[in-house]
């Protein structure tokens, strides 16, 4: 019997009885019961997984297990501060869990729970609607749209092609300038409403902003209002994706050294 402990996150100990009951079930098939393992004032939230189990029953990178992982963390978040662990971490034994993680990293984990106490994560992604931003750029900088093409002849396609690439590069540069300016203004505007801000590298050339905010639970509504009014101003040009409250994944992104 080879049992490991799948780790969801770290919370304060002791957990109130009601919270223990709310832990529920987690990863694996059938889904295992979620438990807590305490050490002084912190606790690891875990469930047992068996590496002897058939592949379907083990924890895998599937929708099923990822959903279970996020559900456990969201249930915890409803009641208490949780330091979320990345998907897929299994500790081989209870002994190692307590010794190498809870005990040897106690001070650091305790400090992180203090830092995140009472806060949740809100994510914001703002993306330009391509045609709209190009239209706006064209109005502001008419030369970007060119004016058709060079004198048309049989060589129409060949000549226009390289022209188009260079023109496209110029347009892309203009888009980048615009979105960088807009991104900086947005962050400056929203930063005062949050404890911390984590700005990500834009995943596409149409992304204006991809950021996470660590926000006091009681300040979420204020952030909502600020983002709503930004949306009203920008909705012709851009789409908004605003998600939360979430456990503070982006503010727990650290590598815990193994052992002591």
Whether 35 and 76 have beta carbons less than 8 Å apart is answered as no
- In which residue are the tokens 């239209």 written? 135
Residue from 42, 117, 41 nearest 81 by CA: 117
- In which residue are the tokens 């969801």 written? 8
- Residue 56 C-beta-side C-alpha neighbours within 13 Å: 1
123 binds another protein, rule: CB under 8 A: yes
1 binds another protein, rule: CB under 8 A: no
CB of 48 to another protein, least distance (A): 13
Identity of the residue, 15 or 251, whose beta carbon is nearer to another protein in the bound complex: 251
Whether 247 and 84 have beta carbons less than 8 Å apart is answered as yes
92 binds another protein, rule: CB under 8 A: yes
How far is Cα 249 from Cα 243, in angstroms, rounded to an integer?
13
16 binds another protein, rule: CB under 8 A: no
CB of 219 to another protein, least distance (A): 13
149 binds another protein, rule: CB under 8 A: yes
Could you give the string, one character per residue 71-90, with x where binding to another protein holds by CB under 8 A and - elsewhere? x--x--------xxxxxxxx
Joined tokens for residue 10: 């770290």
52 binds another protein, rule: CB under 8 A: no
Kindly tell me which residue out of 145, 187, 195, 219 binds another protein, with binding defined by CB under 8 A.
Answer: 145
Identity of the residue, 17 or 232, whose beta carbon is nearer to another protein in the bound complex: 232
Identity of the residue, 23 or 84, whose beta carbon is nearer to another protein in the bound complex: 84
Whether 7 and 44 have beta carbons less than 8 Å apart is answered as yes
CB of 157 to another protein, least distance (A): 7
Identity of the residue, 12 or 69, whose beta carbon is nearer to another protein in the bound complex: 69
Residues numbered 184-213 forming contacts with another protein, rule: CB under 8 A: 202-205
**Range in contact with another protein (rule: CB under 8 A) among 2-10, 15-23, 35-43, 189-197:** 2-10
Could you give the string, one character per residue 209-248, with x where binding to another protein holds by CB under 8 A and - elsewhere? ------------x--xx-xx--x--------xxxxxxx--
Q: How far is CA 15 from CA 19, 78, 106, 219, in A?
A: 6, 13, 17, 25
Identity of the residue, 31 or 146, whose beta carbon is nearer to another protein in the bound complex: 146
How far is Cα 182 from Cα 176, in angstroms, rounded to an integer?
10
**Range in contact with another protein (rule: CB under 8 A) among 12-20, 33-41, 165-173, 187-195:** 165-173
The C-alpha angle 73, 79, 82, rounded to 5 degrees, equals: 45
CB of 100 to another protein, least distance (A): 9
Whether 76 and 249 have beta carbons less than 8 Å apart is answered as no
How far is Cα 241 from Cα 207, in angstroms, rounded to an integer?
11
């Amino acid at each position: 019997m080879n049992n490991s402990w799948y780790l969801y996150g770290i919370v304060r100990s002791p957990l109130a009885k009601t919270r223990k009951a709310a832990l529920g079930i987690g990863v694996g098939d059938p889904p295992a019961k979620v438990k807590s393992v305490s050490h002084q004032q912190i606790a690891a939230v875990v469930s047992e997984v068996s590496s002897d189990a058939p592949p379907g029953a083990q924890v895998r990178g599937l929708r099923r297990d990822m959903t279970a992982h996020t559900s456990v963390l969201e249930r915890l978040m409803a009641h208490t501060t949780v330091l979320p662990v990345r998907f897929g971490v299994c500790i081989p034994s209870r002994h190692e869990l307590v010794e190498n993680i809870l005990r040897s990293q106690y001070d650091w984990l305790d400090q992180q729970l203090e830092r995140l106490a009472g806060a949740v994560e809100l994510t914001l992604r703002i993306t330009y609607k391509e045609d709209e931003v190009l239209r706006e750029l064209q109005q502001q900088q008419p030369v970007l749209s060119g004016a058709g093409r060079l004198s048309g002849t049989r060589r129409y396609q060949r000549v226009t092609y390289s022209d188009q690439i260079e023109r496209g590069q110029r347009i892309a540069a203009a888009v980048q300038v615009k979105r960088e300016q807009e991104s900086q203004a947005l962050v400056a505007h929203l930063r005062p409403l949050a404890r911390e801000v984590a700005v990500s590298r834009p995943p596409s050339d149409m992304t204006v902003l991809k950021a996470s905010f660590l926000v006091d639970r009681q300040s979420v509504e204020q952030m909502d209002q600020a983002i709503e009014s930004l949306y009203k101003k920008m909705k012709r040009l851009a789409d908004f994706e605003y998600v939360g409250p979430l456990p503070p994944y982006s503010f727990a992104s650290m590598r815990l050294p193994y052992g002591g």
